[in-house]
Amino acid sequence: MSSPTPATALPASLPPVVAWTRAIAVGSIAGLIALGLGWELWLAPTGSGWLALKVVPLFIPLAGLLRNRLYTYRWVTLFVWPYFIEGVVRAVSDRGPGATLALVEIALTLALFGACVVHVRWRLGQAAAARGTA
């Protein structure tokens, strides 16, 4: 078994930047899951509820974020954009509660993206500093 690289290794107590960005990322993705389910099943359903299945892919990165896997933070920055696009489209096209929920979706996706970017940049910067190649 190989030892983890400095970019993926985390100390027992997380630095404040890592702890905050992790909390924001996990909270944002959990919020997107709750919002997607609530939106399509109770708050402003658009049909028979099949659109609630759009939250299923969100469980995949949730596991990696909870484990603080750097690779997960990196690919989530690309994974989040379809949810952002859905929010923008529905904010413009929906009326009533659907438009408000779309704005919440946009805010959650931007928070998730921002937290992941800061998390990755900080951890890679720390790994470079540890190698002496800052």
Q: Mind listing the pLDDT tens digit for each residue in 8-57?
A: 555 557 789 999 999 999 999 999 999 999 999 999 887 778 888 999 99
Number of DSSP helices (H) and strands (E) in the chain, helices first: 5, 0
Structure tokens at 94: 């929906």
Tell me the angle at which helices 16-38 and 70-79 cross, rounded to the nearest 10 degrees: 40
User: Which of 83, 71, 70, 86 is closest to 111 using CA atoms?
Assistant: 83
Q: What is the value of pTM for the model shown?
A: 0.86
Q: What is the dihedral of CA 129, 14, 113, 60, to 10 degrees?
A: 120
Structure tokens at 81: 């954009």
Higher pLDDT, 127 or 87: 87
Report the Cα–Cα distance between both ends of the chain, in Å, rounded. Answer: 28
Instruction: Specify whether the backbone of 96 is left (phi greater than 0), alpha (psi in -120 to 50) or beta.
Output: left
Would you report the helix, strand and coil content of the chain in percent, each value rounded to 5? 75, 0, 25
Question: CB–CB of 72/11 below 8 Å?
Answer: no
Determine the Cα–Cα distance for residues 117 and 122; give it in Å rounded to an integer. Answer: 9
pLDDT tens per residue across span 40-99: 999 988 777 888 899 999 999 999 999 999 999 999 999 999 999 999 999 999 999 999
